[in-house]
Amino acid sequence: MNNTHILKVGLAQIAPVWLDKVKTIEKIKSSIIDAAAKKCELLVFGEGLLPGYPFWLSLTNGAEFNSIVQKEIHAHYLRNAVQIEAGELNDICDLAKEHKIAIYLGVIERPKNRGGHSLYCSLVYINEEGTIASVHRKLQPTYEERLTWSSGDGNGLQVHSLKEFTVGGLNCWENWMPLPRAALYGQGENLHIAVWPGTLDNTKDITRFIARESRSVVISVSSLMSKQDFPKETPHLSKIIENAPEVLANGGSCIAGPDGEWILEPVINTEGILTASLDFNRVLEERQNFDPSGHYSRPDVTQLTVNRERQAVIKFKE
């Protein structure tokens, strides 16, 4: 599209090949090609899609200490997590560059700068030139997620220019955290990306709330997952599916405009690329009466300090 104020977006509401890094990457690549054929300029995937959300924790007594079941599933999860430094997203970056499409991708990251043996729920932004521009590690895993994911840092609280929009994103319940939202608003964010593991319950209220609060466009993208999506090779599969419902994640991907009204109402139980065209002028119109970091802010009274240093346990001085 030539109009700089119009952005064609795609919402990749798909299921992973659960805990299979290689096969899930192939599915992601197919989605990028599909979105490019639909002329999308931004494509968003759900939280932790690569290689999948840790559904087993709530189904197999994940809090049992020193359990061989939990250890073996966790080891399998580690083996299928992503090491970005090793180039494991290179094929995805190449496709982004080839098709000039920006991508937000939820991954389970196994970063070398934290020792290489712990997991982080990360939201990766790949720009239209195929460059990884930011990696946001989820600040606070939610409830049972803390049994497998580590707490992240503020390094990824960054925004990026995309045509006339300024885009930023958060993982799942981070979107309920007022200060991380404010950190993005203060950098000029006007297209907010909220990624989720799945289900309408997560997206149906907060998507419109953030849009209304920030006077921004908000895109929520969820994954899908059913009982039939667990691969037969999964460790302790019988224990996992014994208590699993038929549907673990039904989607609910949607888009709200800067007035809080739906551009794309939540879609459930449908796999594929959902699309919409966003008009930046709508942001400008709604900022006329409210701008949370501009004319309706009081920095002389309240300010936010953000530490964006990438955290590590060791620093070398040569």
**15-19, 96-100, 223-227, 314-318 — which is least confidently predicted?**
314-318
292 burial via Cβ count (<10 Å: 0-12, 13-18, 19+): middle
Q: Does residue 1 register a pLDDT over 60?
A: no
User: d(Cα 284, Cα 33) in Å, to the nearest integer?
Assistant: 32
DSSP the chain: ---TTEEEEEEEE----TT-HHHHHHHHHHHHHHHHHTT-SEEEE-TTTBT---GGGGTTTTT-TT-HHHHHHHHHHHHTSB-GGGTTTHHHHHHHHHHT-EEEEEEEE--GGGTSSS-EEEEEEE-TTS-EEEEEE-SS--GGGGGTPPP--GGG---EEETTEEEEEEEGGGGG-HHHHHHHHTTT--EEEEEESS-HHHHTTHHHHHHHHHTSEEEEEE-EEEGGGS-TTSTTHHHHHHS--SEEEEEEEEEE-TTS-EEEEEEES--EEEEEEEETHHHHHHTTT--TTTTT--TTT-------PPP-S-----
Our measurement of the distance from residue 225's CA atom to the centroid of its chain's CA atoms, rounded to an integer in Å, reads: 16
Per residue in 142-181, pLDDT (tens digit) is 999 999 999 999 999 999 999 999 999 999 999 999 999 9
Q: What is the residue extent of each domain of the chain? A: 6-286
In this structure, whether the domain defined by 6-286 belongs to CATH 3.60.110.10 is answered with yes
Instruction: Tell me, yes or no, if the pTM score tops 0.75.
Output: yes
Per residue in 270-316, pLDDT (tens digit) is 999 999 999 999 999 999 999 999 999 999 999 999 999 999 998 89
Q: Identify whether the C-beta of residue 213 lies closer than 8 Å to the C-beta of residue 180.
A: no
Q: Which residues are paired to 281 by β-bridges?
A: none
Q: Does residue 200 register a pLDDT over 70?
A: yes
Q: What is the mean pLDDT of the chain?
A: 97
Please give the pLDDT value at position 271: 98
Average pLDDT over residues 15-24: 98
Report whether the peptide linkage leading into residue 51 is cis, meaning its omega lies within 30 degrees of zero. Answer: yes
β-bridge pairing 42-45 and 102-109: parallel
User: d(Cα 101, Cα 165) in Å, to the nearest integer?
Assistant: 14
Please give the pLDDT value at position 146: 97
Average pLDDT over residues 91-111: 98
Q: If pLDDT is split at 50, 70 and 90, which confidence band does 247 have?
A: very high
Where in the sequence numbering do the catalytic residues fall? 47, 138, 172
Q: If pLDDT is split at 50, 70 and 90, which confidence band does 2 have?
A: low
